[in-house]
Amino acid sequence: MLRAGAARLADMATKNRLPLIGDVDFGQAGALIGFGANLPELFYRGAYFVDKILKGARPSELPVEQPVKFELVVNLKTAKALSLTVPPSLLARADEVIE
């Protein structure tokens, strides 16, 4: 539900001069910063486990995995609207910078 309204929430936050931080979709929708696990990678790993189970592996014997690849999105357009300066060190680490 939140993901579907990400653009609306980001717009409301910016209009009220509130820096919004959410997952990657929020950053792309207009939030100041988006950070989270790489969803395509999670889906790929999920398919790997489904394949193992369909080939006869017992789910209780499969290891539990945590995400290892994360993405950082910085929205400079929103930062400018909020009169914020984003440190160059943060921009250097970002996977995507929206201008």
Instruction: Summarize pLDDT for 66-88 with one digit per residue, the tens.
Output: 999 999 999 999 999 999 999 99
Q: Which residues contact 32 (CB under 8 A, 6 or more apart)?
A: 19, 20, 21, 74, 75, 78, 79, 82, 84
pLDDT band at 50 (very low <50, low <70, confident <90, very high): very high
In a domain, 62, yes or no: yes
Count of structural domains within the chain: 1
- Determine, yes or no, domain membership for 60: yes
Q: Is the pLDDT of residue 40 over 90?
A: no
* Segment 21-33 mean pLDDT: 92
pTM over 0.85: no
Instruction: State which residues form the domain around 41.
Output: 6-98
Q: How confident is the model at residue 1 (pLDDT cuts 50, 70, 90)?
A: low
Residue 94 belongs to a domain: yes
Tell me, yes or no, whether 1 lies in a domain. no
